[in-house]
Amino acid sequence: MDCPRDNVEMVELSEGEDKLLTRCGECGGLFLDVADLNRILLHAGLPTLDAMGGRANPEEDVGDCPSCAVNLLAVESSHKRDPMIYETCESCGGIWLEGADFPKEGETAAELKSGIVDFYREFSARAHSKPAAR
């Protein structure tokens, strides 16, 4: 599976017997299945991705899904000034997260899961926050 940003082969990271996510060694981006993401979110006491909110931005060109080569769709939190963004594949349901949102030293699936939980905890807070009135 090639990275949608760098077109280099990504590395699969496992936890036990399960392939959990795939990471690009160049940009640090992560790709994972939506079912795996929802399991991570539920175990952390967060809502599933469907319940989290956010809005699609079809205008943003974010590349192709590394799994099935369909265009990825950017999903933004509702925070107007500083939205958080992840990308999703409308065909396979895969999720792409930019490497800038995770620590470079996180090399194991367990370490990266913590970063994923932190990202979506913040995304959920921004998706449900109301912008301050001027």
Query: Over the stretch 98-109, which tens digit does the pLDDT of each residue have?
Result: 988 766 566 778
Q: What is the pLDDT of residue 134?
A: 42
Q: What is the pLDDT of residue 84?
A: 87
Nearest to 112 by CA among 6, 15, 46, 45: 15
- Tell me if residue 74 falls in helix, strand or coil: strand
pLDDT tens digits for range 42-70 = 999 999 998 888 889 888 888 899 999 99
The beta-strand segments (E) located in 35-109 are 55-57, 72-76, 85-89, 95-97
Q: What is the pLDDT of residue 106?
A: 62
Q: State the pTM of this model.
A: 0.85
φ, ψ at 31 (rounded to 5°): -130, 130
